[in-house]
Amino acid sequence: MTIPEIQRMKGEKKITALTCYDFQMAKILDKAGVDIVLVGDSLGMVVLGYENTLPVTMEEMLHHLKAVKRGIKNALLVGDMPFMSYKVDIKDSVYNAGRMTKEGGASAVKLEGGIEIIPTIKAMLDADIPVMGHIGLRPQAIHKMGGYKVQRDEGLIEEAKALEEAGIFSLVLECIPGSLAKKITESLKIPTIGIGSGIYCDGQILVLNDIIGLTERSPKFVRRYLNMKDEISNAIERFIEDVSKGDFPKKEESYE
Protein backbone atom coordinates (compact mmCIF):
# COMPACT_ATOMS: atom_id res chain seq x y z
CA MET A 1 0.00 0.00 0.00
CA THR A 2 1.35 3.40 -0.98
CA ILE A 3 0.30 6.99 -0.42
CA PRO A 4 -0.92 7.45 -4.03
CA GLU A 5 -2.99 4.26 -3.64
CA ILE A 6 -4.55 5.61 -0.44
CA GLN A 7 -5.41 8.85 -2.20
CA ARG A 8 -6.99 7.03 -5.15
CA MET A 9 -9.35 5.24 -2.76
CA LYS A 10 -11.27 8.45 -2.04
CA GLY A 11 -14.76 8.07 -3.40
CA GLU A 12 -13.99 4.55 -4.63
CA LYS A 13 -13.39 2.37 -1.58
CA LYS A 14 -13.47 2.95 2.16
CA ILE A 15 -10.03 3.12 3.81
CA THR A 16 -9.42 0.91 6.86
CA ALA A 17 -6.92 1.89 9.54
CA LEU A 18 -6.03 0.62 13.01
CA THR A 19 -3.46 1.46 15.65
CA CYS A 20 -0.79 -1.07 16.54
CA TYR A 21 2.12 -1.16 18.98
CA ASP A 22 3.93 -4.51 18.66
CA PHE A 23 5.32 -7.06 16.20
CA GLN A 24 2.79 -9.88 16.73
CA MET A 25 -0.28 -7.68 16.33
CA ALA A 26 1.32 -5.99 13.32
CA LYS A 27 1.62 -9.36 11.57
CA ILE A 28 -2.04 -10.11 12.29
CA LEU A 29 -3.26 -6.71 11.03
CA ASP A 30 -1.15 -6.92 7.92
CA LYS A 31 -2.31 -10.43 7.04
CA ALA A 32 -5.94 -9.39 7.60
CA GLY A 33 -5.53 -6.70 4.97
CA VAL A 34 -5.88 -3.39 6.83
CA ASP A 35 -4.85 -0.46 4.61
CA ILE A 36 -3.08 1.75 7.17
CA VAL A 37 -1.36 0.83 10.42
CA LEU A 38 -0.79 3.75 12.76
CA VAL A 39 1.66 3.52 15.61
CA GLY A 40 -0.29 6.02 17.66
CA ASP A 41 0.84 8.00 20.67
CA SER A 42 -2.21 6.36 22.25
CA LEU A 43 0.38 3.76 23.24
CA GLY A 44 0.97 6.06 26.21
CA MET A 45 -2.34 5.02 27.74
CA VAL A 46 -2.89 1.65 26.05
CA VAL A 47 0.57 0.14 26.52
CA LEU A 48 2.56 2.29 28.94
CA GLY A 49 -0.13 3.15 31.47
CA TYR A 50 0.13 6.95 31.29
CA GLU A 51 -2.87 9.12 32.10
CA ASN A 52 -2.86 10.66 28.61
CA THR A 53 -0.65 10.94 25.52
CA LEU A 54 1.44 13.88 26.73
CA PRO A 55 4.28 11.98 28.49
CA VAL A 56 5.09 9.84 25.41
CA THR A 57 8.64 10.44 24.17
CA MET A 58 10.29 10.12 20.78
CA GLU A 59 12.34 7.19 22.02
CA GLU A 60 9.20 5.34 23.13
CA MET A 61 7.53 6.00 19.79
CA LEU A 62 10.58 4.81 17.87
CA HIS A 63 10.86 1.65 19.99
CA HIS A 64 7.28 0.61 19.14
CA LEU A 65 7.47 1.84 15.54
CA LYS A 66 10.46 -0.40 14.86
CA ALA A 67 8.66 -3.41 16.33
CA VAL A 68 5.55 -2.82 14.22
CA LYS A 69 7.61 -2.24 11.09
CA ARG A 70 9.11 -5.73 11.45
CA GLY A 71 5.63 -7.25 11.24
CA ILE A 72 4.34 -5.35 8.21
CA LYS A 73 4.79 -6.19 4.54
CA ASN A 74 1.78 -4.62 2.83
CA ALA A 75 0.02 -1.93 4.91
CA LEU A 76 1.03 1.73 4.89
CA LEU A 77 2.86 2.44 8.14
CA VAL A 78 2.30 5.84 9.76
CA GLY A 79 3.96 7.11 12.93
CA ASP A 80 2.43 9.60 15.34
CA MET A 81 4.67 12.54 16.21
CA PRO A 82 4.53 12.75 20.02
CA PHE A 83 3.89 15.89 22.05
CA MET A 84 6.75 18.45 21.85
CA SER A 85 8.53 16.57 19.05
CA TYR A 86 7.11 19.19 16.67
CA LYS A 87 5.46 22.60 17.19
CA VAL A 88 8.92 23.55 18.38
CA ASP A 89 11.81 24.76 16.25
CA ILE A 90 11.07 23.75 12.65
CA LYS A 91 14.56 22.31 12.19
CA ASP A 92 14.09 20.08 15.24
CA SER A 93 10.59 19.10 14.08
CA VAL A 94 11.88 17.97 10.68
CA TYR A 95 14.75 16.10 12.34
CA ASN A 96 12.33 14.23 14.59
CA ALA A 97 10.06 13.39 11.65
CA GLY A 98 13.12 12.14 9.81
CA ARG A 99 13.91 9.80 12.68
CA MET A 100 10.39 8.34 12.41
CA THR A 101 11.01 7.45 8.75
CA LYS A 102 14.76 6.71 8.77
CA GLU A 103 15.03 4.83 12.08
CA GLY A 104 11.44 3.75 12.66
CA GLY A 105 10.60 2.76 9.10
CA ALA A 106 7.40 4.79 8.81
CA SER A 107 6.20 5.78 5.35
CA ALA A 108 4.61 8.95 6.78
CA VAL A 109 4.13 10.87 10.01
CA LYS A 110 0.93 12.23 11.58
CA LEU A 111 0.69 15.67 13.15
CA GLU A 112 -2.10 17.12 15.27
CA GLY A 113 -2.89 20.74 14.51
CA GLY A 114 -4.24 23.31 12.09
CA ILE A 115 -3.02 26.44 10.38
CA GLU A 116 -0.35 27.02 13.03
CA ILE A 117 1.66 23.96 11.89
CA ILE A 118 1.55 24.63 8.14
CA PRO A 119 5.16 25.94 8.02
CA THR A 120 6.28 22.75 9.78
CA ILE A 121 4.30 20.57 7.36
CA LYS A 122 5.86 22.32 4.37
CA ALA A 123 9.35 21.89 5.81
CA MET A 124 8.74 18.16 6.32
CA LEU A 125 7.45 17.80 2.78
CA ASP A 126 10.53 19.65 1.51
CA ALA A 127 12.53 16.92 3.26
CA ASP A 128 10.46 14.27 1.42
CA ILE A 129 8.57 13.20 4.54
CA PRO A 130 4.84 12.65 3.80
CA VAL A 131 2.42 14.06 6.37
CA MET A 132 -1.03 12.96 7.55
CA GLY A 133 -3.02 15.70 9.29
CA HIS A 134 -5.25 15.49 12.36
CA ILE A 135 -7.94 18.00 13.38
CA GLY A 136 -11.01 18.08 15.59
CA LEU A 137 -10.35 16.64 19.02
CA ARG A 138 -6.59 16.71 19.48
CA PRO A 139 -5.48 14.61 22.46
CA GLN A 140 -2.15 16.46 22.69
CA ALA A 141 -4.11 19.71 23.25
CA ILE A 142 -6.37 18.15 25.88
CA HIS A 143 -5.65 20.76 28.54
CA LYS A 144 -6.24 23.62 26.11
CA MET A 145 -9.49 22.06 24.88
CA GLY A 146 -10.73 21.36 28.40
CA GLY A 147 -11.20 17.63 28.04
CA TYR A 148 -12.26 15.03 25.52
CA LYS A 149 -15.14 16.90 23.88
CA VAL A 150 -16.86 16.77 20.50
CA GLN A 151 -15.53 19.59 18.29
CA ARG A 152 -18.29 21.51 16.50
CA ASP A 153 -16.46 24.54 15.11
CA GLU A 154 -17.38 25.18 11.46
CA GLY A 155 -13.97 26.82 11.11
CA LEU A 156 -12.57 23.30 10.83
CA ILE A 157 -13.67 23.31 7.18
CA GLU A 158 -11.31 26.14 6.27
CA GLU A 159 -8.62 24.64 8.47
CA ALA A 160 -8.89 21.37 6.56
CA LYS A 161 -8.64 23.17 3.23
CA ALA A 162 -5.52 25.01 4.38
CA LEU A 163 -3.89 21.75 5.47
CA GLU A 164 -4.71 20.16 2.13
CA GLU A 165 -3.19 23.12 0.31
CA ALA A 166 -0.08 22.75 2.47
CA GLY A 167 0.35 19.23 1.05
CA ILE A 168 -0.90 16.63 3.53
CA PHE A 169 -1.96 13.39 1.85
CA SER A 170 -4.87 12.55 4.17
CA LEU A 171 -6.62 13.98 7.20
CA VAL A 172 -7.83 12.37 10.43
CA LEU A 173 -11.07 13.84 11.77
CA GLU A 174 -11.55 13.06 15.47
CA CYS A 175 -14.81 13.51 17.39
CA ILE A 176 -16.50 15.82 14.89
CA PRO A 177 -20.29 15.71 14.29
CA GLY A 178 -21.14 13.62 11.24
CA SER A 179 -22.72 16.53 9.39
CA LEU A 180 -19.60 18.66 9.79
CA ALA A 181 -17.32 15.76 8.87
CA LYS A 182 -19.40 15.34 5.71
CA LYS A 183 -18.83 18.98 4.75
CA ILE A 184 -15.10 18.65 5.35
CA THR A 185 -14.86 15.40 3.39
CA GLU A 186 -16.77 16.85 0.43
CA SER A 187 -14.62 19.99 0.41
CA LEU A 188 -11.34 18.08 0.06
CA LYS A 189 -9.64 16.13 -2.72
CA ILE A 190 -7.61 14.15 -0.19
CA PRO A 191 -9.22 11.36 1.86
CA THR A 192 -10.53 11.89 5.37
CA ILE A 193 -10.20 9.17 8.00
CA GLY A 194 -12.68 9.40 10.83
CA ILE A 195 -12.57 8.40 14.46
CA GLY A 196 -15.83 9.22 16.17
CA SER A 197 -16.80 11.42 13.20
CA GLY A 198 -19.64 9.53 11.57
CA ILE A 199 -20.32 7.68 8.35
CA TYR A 200 -19.32 10.21 5.70
CA CYS A 201 -15.54 10.05 6.07
CA ASP A 202 -13.49 8.29 3.38
CA GLY A 203 -12.19 5.80 5.93
CA GLN A 204 -12.23 4.85 9.59
CA ILE A 205 -9.59 4.32 12.25
CA LEU A 206 -9.91 2.87 15.75
CA VAL A 207 -7.58 1.81 18.54
CA LEU A 208 -6.95 -1.92 18.10
CA ASN A 209 -7.06 -2.65 21.83
CA ASP A 210 -10.54 -1.10 22.00
CA ILE A 211 -12.09 -3.21 19.25
CA ILE A 212 -10.68 -6.48 20.59
CA GLY A 213 -11.84 -5.72 24.14
CA LEU A 214 -8.54 -5.31 25.95
CA THR A 215 -9.35 -1.89 27.39
CA GLU A 216 -11.53 -1.38 30.45
CA ARG A 217 -13.72 1.31 28.91
CA SER A 218 -14.05 2.71 25.42
CA PRO A 219 -15.76 5.73 23.84
CA LYS A 220 -19.27 5.68 22.35
CA PHE A 221 -17.92 5.45 18.81
CA VAL A 222 -16.02 2.19 19.41
CA ARG A 223 -17.51 -1.14 18.30
CA ARG A 224 -16.13 -4.15 20.19
CA TYR A 225 -15.62 -7.18 17.96
CA LEU A 226 -14.07 -9.39 20.63
CA ASN A 227 -13.81 -9.64 24.42
CA MET A 228 -10.16 -10.63 24.59
CA LYS A 229 -9.67 -9.37 28.14
CA ASP A 230 -12.03 -12.03 29.49
CA GLU A 231 -10.59 -14.70 27.17
CA ILE A 232 -7.05 -13.99 28.37
CA SER A 233 -8.12 -13.90 32.03
CA ASN A 234 -9.87 -17.25 31.60
CA ALA A 235 -6.79 -18.81 29.98
CA ILE A 236 -4.52 -17.59 32.78
CA GLU A 237 -6.89 -18.85 35.47
CA ARG A 238 -7.00 -22.28 33.80
CA PHE A 239 -3.18 -22.34 33.64
CA ILE A 240 -2.92 -21.50 37.34
CA GLU A 241 -5.45 -24.20 38.20
CA ASP A 242 -3.71 -26.84 36.05
CA VAL A 243 -0.30 -26.11 37.56
CA SER A 244 -1.71 -26.04 41.09
CA LYS A 245 -3.40 -29.45 40.63
CA GLY A 246 -0.37 -30.99 38.96
CA ASP A 247 -2.21 -31.36 35.64
CA PHE A 248 0.43 -29.34 33.80
CA PRO A 249 2.78 -30.36 32.35
CA LYS A 250 1.76 -33.85 31.32
CA LYS A 251 4.17 -36.50 30.11
CA GLU A 252 3.57 -35.64 26.44
CA GLU A 253 4.43 -32.02 27.25
CA SER A 254 7.80 -32.97 28.78
CA TYR A 255 11.18 -34.05 27.39
CA GLU A 256 12.67 -37.45 28.33
Res 50 pLDDT > 90: yes
Residue of 93, 181, 85 whose CA lies nearest to 140: 85
Give the pLDDT confidence score for residue 217 in this predicted structure: 80
Amino acid at 168: I
> Each residue of 161-206: pLDDT tens digit?
999 999 999 999 999 999 999 999 999 999 999 999 999 999 999 9
* CA dihedral angle for residue 137, residue 214, residue 37, residue 10, rounded to 10 degrees: -60
Using the 8-state DSSP alphabet, how is residue 10 labeled? T
* E strand spans, the chain: 15-19, 36-39, 76-80, 108-112, 131-136, 170-174, 192-195, 203-206
> Are residues 131 and 83 in contact, defined by beta-carbon separation less than 8 angstroms?
no
For residue 238, give Cα distances in angstroms to 231, 232, 244: 11, 10, 10
> Each residue of 69-94: pLDDT tens digit?
999 999 999 999 999 999 999 999 99
Question: Among all residues, which ones are annotated catalytic?
Answer: 174
CA distance 25 to 76: 15
> Each residue of 136-166: pLDDT tens digit?
999 999 999 999 999 999 999 999 999 999 9
> Each residue of 225-246: pLDDT tens digit?
999 999 999 999 999 999 999 9
**Overall average pLDDT of the 15-36 stretch:** 98
**Overall average pLDDT of the 45-66 stretch:** 97
Residue 218: which pLDDT band, with cuts at 50, 70 and 90?
Answer: confident
